[in-house]
Amino acid sequence: MRAKLNINLPKLSNENDFESLLRDICAFEWNDPATEKFGRKGQKQFGVDVYGRPDGLLPVYRGVQCKHRATDKQLSQNEIEKEVAEAKLFPHKLDRLIIATDGPRNNNTQILINGISESELNSSGFQVNIWFWDDISERLAAYPQLMISYYKDLYKNLSTFPLLEKLNDLPIHILLDSQVYSQSLADIVNNLQFRGVRILGQKKSNRQQSEPGCEIVDGVICNFIEDNEDIKERSLFYFLGILNDHAHRLDRDTPIFVLLHPKSLVKFTENANKLNLDLNRFSLLMADQSAVDIADHIFSIVFPYGYKRRGALNAFNVLARTREVRVSGILLDINLQEKLGTEIFPTKDEWENQIIPALRSIRNQIMSQGETPRIQFDSQLPIPAAVALGFYFNLRVATVGVWARTIASSDFKKQFWLSDAYAKNVIFKTEWLPQENNDEHHAILEISSYLSIHQSVQTFVDSQDLKVNKWGRINLEIDGNSQESIEEGTAVAFANSVGQIVRQLNSQGITDVHLFARIPSALAVLIGQRLYACGRIHLYWFENPTYRYAFQLS
């Protein structure tokens, strides 16, 4: 049975370790390596044990008050109000105070905290949040390096522990050992990459150099495609030798896939039996199946295996990209660059029959690993694809976080936005352009966070003679000012606003919404999460200086 290290994590035994854990978690959450403890035991701490600057933004500071307890006793109203009052005297102005307790989640305490926070915000104070041990455990599970540091003893119960630190920096990956690279094999490779599996090539010289059990790959694909019955026995025995070599040097549980043409199956089986090769060790795949079906089968085996040997944490780090990038600490590397880039776009058939099935496959595998997973996306996709990513991992499916780059910043610092985070109390106005009355049930919605896209959209609409009842424009502006650096609360509020506008259009009889956007990819993911059950959403690739039709979500 799979170990779930994030469930019922034992509490830390002493207050100092608890504060250190909160410091380390917040350093990641706030993207501020300078996050530190405030003062030392015995010194006045002004209601703050840990503090830092989220995303290095001056003069914004955030504080944590740590409440380590020997029992599960909940915090009292007097305790909370006392800490909030002391935090007002903290030397730096706080935008938020997080009260972190190792007590269990409690709705009465949550209601109490929400009331205190609302009162503080109404009087121009700071927001007040609470993290229970359940919340701290979820956050801890998002950072495998911290799990290894604070709960190393738990990992020692896993057979993967000697490889754990190496695997932490590697996405799920498969070794491809093939003498021939055909188009059919290339299609399988592409569909595995669409599912987030990284593919490694086999160098012949490496095959004899590894000791049994030392491989860190999550699977191997061996390809023997002979479509005639007159198979050369020498070639077949050589191939069987390769399989035998992999079976001996890989861990017993590492999946080995054998891709065969149906006509070669009988001879393959006969000769494997002659060599006393254990065929139960291999997964046989017939090459006459579709690349999508083969990729799905491989992924359904490789994903649970790779996930388990990385600790089976209930947090999934996923990169989605269309170009080569360097990253570490991810579980899945969704690579769409064969079909999607700045100058290449997938056909309707490729999108509907390859990429969408891949996204659904990823979703199904993640959801099958446990309840309420936390999925953390680093989306580097064009806007329509990022919207689709959010759509298939919508708010009804999972808690999603996205990594976002700071706009117009020279240091390219990243922020982390949780999809269900507190939404800033801000109203984004929609400008409605007058349209001629017609019988169409279509609407256009322009979304922009920085630069106007109206002229490009107008050019495309004129070229397509697109008739609509409604045409709305919503810009990410606060008090008339564009937001160069979008904070989490603002991003969530803007995504909520877009979702509400689309639903408002649906209530007015609009069945088709044509969505044009120029926004950060991370924000597009949050918006996509809010577009489920919103009729037909039509999306468009930006092809400078105008647009081209991408696909429909429904």
Which of 155, 180, 208 lies at the terminal end of a domain, its last residue? Answer: 155
Contact 315, 138 (CB under 8 A): yes
Residue 158 has pLDDT above 80, yes or no: no
* 378 in the same domain as 238: no
In the predicted model, what is the mean pLDDT of residues 223-229?
67
**Residue 9 lies inside a defined structural domain of this protein:** no
Element (H, E) at 222: strand 220-224
* 174 in the same domain as 126: no
CATH number of the domain within which 47 lies? 3.40.1350
**Residue 256, beta-bridge partner list:** 220, 282
What per-residue confidence (pLDDT) applies to 507? 95
**Residue 10 lies inside a defined structural domain of this protein:** no
CA distance 85 to 47: 8
Percent of the chain past pLDDT 90, that is, above it, reads: 58
Given the structure tokens 């790779």, which residue do they identify?
Answer: 306
**pLDDT interval class at 207 (50, 70, 90):** very low
**Residue 7 lies inside a defined structural domain of this protein:** no
Measuring CA to CA, how many Å separate 86 from each of 83, 95, 122, 447, 537? 5, 15, 18, 42, 50
Residue 409 has pLDDT above 50, yes or no: no
Contacts 24+ apart (CB under 8 A), 30-37: 30/54, 30/55, 30/62, 31/55, 31/56, 31/413, 31/414, 31/415, 31/416, 32/56
CA distance 67 to 85: 16
**Residue 139 lies inside a defined structural domain of this protein:** yes
* 505 in the same domain as 378: yes
Name the average pLDDT for the chain: 86
In the predicted model, what is the mean pLDDT of residues 446-459?
92
pLDDT digits (tens, 9 = 90+) for 97-107: 999 999 988 88
Domain count, the chain: 3
Which of 100, 135, 155 lies at the terminal end of a domain, its last residue? Answer: 155
pLDDT digits (tens, 9 = 90+) for 344-390: 999 999 999 999 999 999 999 999 987 778 899 999 999 999 999 99
Task: Respond yes or no on whether the N-terminal peptide bond of residue 54 is cis (omega within 30° of 0).
Answer: no
* 326 in the same domain as 183: yes
CA dihedral of residues 244, 249, 255, 256 (deg, nearest 10): -30
**Residue 543, beta-bridge partner list:** 546
Residue scoring higher pLDDT (438 or 147): 147
**pLDDT interval class at 283 (50, 70, 90):** very high
In the predicted model, what is the mean pLDDT of residues 118-143?
87
Minimum mean pLDDT range among 162-166, 266-270, 271-275, 456-460: 162-166
**pLDDT interval class at 1 (50, 70, 90):** very low
* 502 in the same domain as 391: yes
pLDDT digits (tens, 9 = 90+) for 292-336: 999 999 999 999 999 988 878 778 999 999 999 887 788 999 999
255: left (phi over 0), alpha (psi -120 to 50) or beta: beta
**pLDDT interval class at 212 (50, 70, 90):** very low
Residue scoring higher pLDDT (258 or 229): 258
What per-residue confidence (pLDDT) applies to 481? 65
* 434 in the same domain as 367: no
**Residue 4 lies inside a defined structural domain of this protein:** no
Residues in Cβ contact with 227 at an 8 Å cutoff, skipping those fewer than 6 apart: 261, 263, 264
51: left (phi over 0), alpha (psi -120 to 50) or beta: beta
pTM, full prediction: 0.81
* 533 in the same domain as 386: yes
In the predicted model, what is the mean pLDDT of residues 523-533?
96
What domain range includes position 93? 15-155
**Residue 484 lies inside a defined structural domain of this protein:** yes
What per-residue confidence (pLDDT) applies to 206? 46
* 476 in the same domain as 355: no
CA distance 330 to 65: 31
* 217 in the same domain as 359: yes
* 271 in the same domain as 252: yes
CA distance 242 to 462: 60
Residue scoring higher pLDDT (71 or 408): 71
CA distance 389 to 122: 36
**Residue 119 lies inside a defined structural domain of this protein:** yes
| Closest alpha carbon to 102 in 18, 217, 189 | 18
Provide the 10 A C-beta neighbour count for residue 492: 21
* 103 in the same domain as 238: no
**pLDDT interval class at 260 (50, 70, 90):** very high
Residue 182 has pLDDT above 50, yes or no: yes
Task: List, in sequence order, the alpha helices (H) in 142-232.
Answer: 144-150, 152-155, 164-167, 183-194
* 454 in the same domain as 359: no
Element (H, E) at 220: strand 220-224
Which of 131, 155, 179 lies at the terminal end of a domain, its last residue? Answer: 155
